[in-house]
Amino acid sequence: MTALTSPPPPPGRALPPDPGARRRAAVELGVLQGGYVLFLAPWFFLSIGVVMGAANWNSPFAAPLLLAWGAYPLVALVTTVVAWAWFAGGRFAAARWANRVPLVWVVTGAAVLIWVFTAG
């Protein structure tokens, strides 16, 4: 009597993807992207301040700051599309790292908001 074995993996992929890794990646992508959508409200609040600060064109950082802060929705959208494309292709680690890029804006914005609200 022979034991039942699984069929060999398709060419190009050595091992089948781990379902646990797929689930963890999907949860991380969903939770972070939900947070990115929720961060749009404080982002808008801070972007008003950035635009008002840009009225002082004597500062060499006004235009780059305005462009960098204004790029958040585009960066979040592009990295979301790339992350889910890589997720669908089985590249879970790459998808997780691509999905973490907007955290730069979220952490920076949270730090600025904490600083604004705690400044006396």
Model pLDDT for residues 39-65, shown as the tens digit of each residue: 999 999 888 887 887 777 677 777 787
Task: Map 21-88 to HEC letters.
Answer: HHHHHHHHHHHHHHHHHHCHHHHHHHHHHHHHHCCCCCCCCHHHHHHHHHCHHHHHHHHHHHHHHHHH
Sort residue 12 into left (φ over 0), alpha (ψ -120 to 50) or beta.
left
Counting Cα atoms < 13 Å in the Cβ hemisphere of 2 gives 3
Whole-model pTM above 0.85? no
pLDDT beyond 90 at 10: no
Give ∠ CA 6-14-2 in degrees, rounded to 5. Answer: 20
Confidence of residue 16 (pLDDT cuts 50, 70, 90): low
